[in-house]
């Protein structure tokens, strides 16, 4: 054994303790840690001929790189849709590295991590109040979940015309309809060889991002046996709008369609008594995406593709790894590697299982309800400045706003965000909503409370004062 590795192994307790202390110190001051840095001048070291050892490397990381780690898991990081990490989820995640299981098989003499994944899927179905007509599999994020759902949808469309697309390749055009798909669904269609431009844009309801279903009816092929894929949104990124999933599902009675629902963060509406109606009908979908590194507050990278169990054969046809006898026969033995893009898989279920067990249904209900309350509080505070207007009502957890016309002489969205993010107290990102440049604040962190929103507003007010002078 290499002597440096040997030395590290001999002092394992000390190493793990040093990493724990560093992690703990970060988490203890997370709320005061900057939400942005300027990582331009990092002095990147070359690959050493003789290694530094783990403690030496930790020290180098601490001085060179740690100053540029931002508080993305903190309470005022509202850019993109970025969740935090619950204490129990961190424990599960650390242990999944320690155990280093390859989560694939549920039979034979392999490890039991896939069994825990299956149990975790059951807990998640319960959490989201979804029926057990669904199975689920962990993937890295909502992009891969959308990819996986649409890959099985593609296989289904081929099957309708007696084609096996996974085996023989894409030999047909598959119509795909959506009003406001997340960019990752377009990326998925590109990766699937269907082409991002294949999506037919469905008009939205007035002042909404949701599908106008009568317009969709007019667009659907007159040949009702023609297989089509509908990509529905359960929470668009800007205005968090929801398609009418129940009415969409009814279209299945008339048309030959597969419904894929991107509920990356909107799926968590299921945990709020006041908002769960937004998801009525999602239980009738064929495939559903939910992201866990968002509102479930587990570390990156973690998401799930839920698919109806009746589609299991299509899913195996799509992802089977059949030409490797050493990995088993996909048709005889359940193995996750035949259900998702990856063969080797991290033990992602562990951090989710830890967090679900530690905080239970009511813990997650309160996280979701608090985020929604804080988004509404933030919207009120922004309006009270007299400098901003909302571009859409706060439907769930996101505030989509822009400077009022009178402020446009003082600052643009870009100038405002530039100053705000330079302060490093709160992080927000720009977007485009119905052709207007705007700012989004997406609140999905369990630490975000009134005091944190107030701190963010102090920063907003300072920036307004500075720019409006």
Ligand X SMILES: Cc1ncc(COP(=O)(O)O)c(C=O)c1O
Closest residue to bound ligand X by CB? 141
Residue 411: CB minimum distance to ligand X, A? 26
Helix (H) or strand (E) holding 258, with range, is strand 257-262
Query: Could you say whether residue 306 binds ligand X (CB under 6 A)?
Result: no
**Residues forming beta bridges with residue 228, ordered by sequence position:** 257
Q: Which residue in 8, 60, 80, 312 binds ligand X (CB under 6 A)? A: 80
Minimum CB–partner distance for residue 302 and ligand X (Å): 9
Which one of residues 81, 121, 316, 420 is an interface residue with ligand X (CB under 6 A)? 81
Shortest distance (Å) from residue 163 CB to ligand X: 28
Q: In the block, which residue shows the tokens 């559903």?
A: 288
User: Between 142 and 337, whose beta carbon lies closer to ligand X?
Assistant: 142
Give residues 214-253 in contact with ligand X (rule: CB under 6 A). Answer: 235, 237
Residues from 270 through 299 that contact ligand X (CB under 6 A): 291
- Map the footprint of ligand X across residues 416-445, applying CB under 6 A: none
Nearer to ligand X, 255 or 260 (CB): 260
Provide the mask over 174-193, with x wherever binding to ligand X is found by CB under 6 A and - wherever it is not. Answer: --------x-x---------
Phi and psi based region of residue 439 (left: phi greater than 0; alpha: psi -120 to 50; beta: remaining): beta
Q: What angle do CA 41, 44, 50 make, to 5 degrees?
A: 160
| Binding to ligand X, residues 22-41 (CB under 6 A) | none
> How many residues sit in the footprint of ligand X (CB under 6 A)?
14
Q: E strands within 270-410?
A: 287-291, 303-308, 388-390, 398-403
Tell me the helix, strand and coil percentages in the chain, rounded to 5: 45, 15, 40
Q: How far is the CB of 340 from ligand X (least distance, A)?
A: 14
Other Cβ atoms less than 10 A from the Cβ of 274: the count is: 9
Q: Measured over all CA atoms, what is the biggest interatomic distance in the chain, rounded to whole angstroms?
A: 72
Whichever of 292 and 364 has its CB closer to ligand X, that residue is 292
Yes or no: say if 464 and 385 are a contact pair by the CB < 8 Å rule: yes
Please give the full DSSP string across 55-86, using - where no structure is assigned. HHHHHHHHHHTGGG---TTSTTB-STT-----
Nearer residue to ligand X within complex by CB, 245 or 387? 245
* Chain residues 111-130 in contact with ligand X, contact rule CB under 6 A: none
Which residues, 255 to 274, sit near ligand X by CB under 6 A? Answer: 262, 264-265
Strands 176-178 and 199-201: parallel
Give the span between the Cα atoms of 410 and 177, in whole angstroms.
Answer: 41
**Shortest reach from residue 451's CB to ligand X, in Å:** 26
| CB of 209 or CB of 452, closer to ligand X | 209
What minimum distance in Å lies between the beta carbon of 65 and ligand X? 23
Strands (E), 120-180: 134-139, 176-178
Q: What is the DSSP string of 200-233?
A: EEPPBPTTSSSB-HHHHHHHS-SSTTS-EEEEEE
Rule CB under 6 A: which of 130-169 touch ligand X? 141-143
- Which of 285, 303, 417, 443 forms a contact with ligand X (CB under 6 A)? 303
Give the binding site for ligand X (CB under 6 A). Answer: 80-81, 141-143, 182, 184, 235, 237, 262, 264-265, 291, 303
């Amino acid at each position: 054994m290499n002597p440096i590795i040997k030395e590290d192994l001999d002092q394992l307790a000390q190493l793990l303790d040093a990493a724990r202390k560093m992690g703990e110190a970060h988490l203890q001051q997370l709320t005061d840690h900057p939400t942005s840095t300027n990582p331009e001048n990092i002095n990147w070291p070359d690959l050493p001929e003789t290694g530094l050892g783990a403690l030496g490397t930790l020290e180098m990381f601490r001085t060179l790189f740690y100053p540029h780690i931002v508080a993305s898991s903190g309470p005022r990081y509202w850019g993109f849709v970025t969740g935090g990490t619950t204490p129990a989820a961190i424990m599960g995640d650390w242990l999944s590295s320690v155990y280093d299981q390859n989560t694939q098989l549920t039979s034979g003499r392999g490890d039991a991590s896939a069994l825990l994944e299956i149990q975790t899927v059951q807990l998640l179905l319960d959490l989201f109040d979804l029926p057990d007509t669904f199975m689920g599999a962990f993937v890295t994020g909502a992009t891969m979940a959308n990819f996986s759902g649409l890959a099985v949808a593609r296989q289904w469309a081929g099957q309708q015309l007696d084609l096996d697309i996974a085996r023989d390749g894409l030999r047909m055009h598959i119509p795909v309809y959506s009003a406001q798909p997340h960019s990752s669904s377009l990326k998925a269609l590109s990766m699937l060889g269907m082409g991002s431009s294949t999506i037919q844009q469905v008009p939205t309801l007035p002042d909404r991002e949701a599908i106008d279903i009568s317009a969709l009816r007019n667009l659907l092929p007159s040949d009702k046996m023609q297989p089509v894929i509908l990509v529905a949104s359960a929470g668009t990124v800007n205005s968090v709008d929801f398609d009418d999933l129940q009415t969409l599902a009814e279209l299945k009675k008339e048309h030959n369609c597969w419904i894929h629902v991107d509920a990356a963060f909107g799926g968590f509406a299921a945990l709020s008594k006041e908002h769960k109606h937004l998801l009525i009908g999602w239980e009738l979908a064929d495939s559903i995406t939910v992201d866990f590194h968002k509102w479930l507050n587990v570390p990156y990278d973690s998401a799930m593709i839920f698919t109806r169990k009746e589609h299991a054969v299509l899913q195996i046809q799509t992802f089977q790894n059949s030409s490797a006898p050493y990995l088993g026969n996909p048709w005889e033995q359940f193995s996750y590697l035949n259900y998702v893009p990856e063969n080797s898989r991290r033990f992602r279920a562990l951090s989710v299982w830890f967090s679900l067990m530690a905080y239970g249904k009511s813990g997650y209900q309160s996280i979701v309800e608090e985020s929604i309350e804080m988004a509404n509080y933030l919207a009120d505070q922004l309006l009270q400045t007299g400098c901003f207007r909302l571009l859409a009502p706060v439907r769930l957890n996101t505030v989509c706003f822009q400077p009022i016309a009178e402020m446009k002489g003082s600052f643009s969205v870009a100038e405002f965000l530039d100053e705000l993010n330079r302060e490093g107290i709160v992080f927000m990102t720009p977007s485009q909503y119905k052709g207007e440049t705007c700012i989004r604040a997406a609140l999905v962190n369990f630490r975000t409370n009134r005091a944190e929103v107030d701190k963010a507003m102090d920063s907003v007010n300072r920036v307004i004062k500075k720019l409006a002078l």
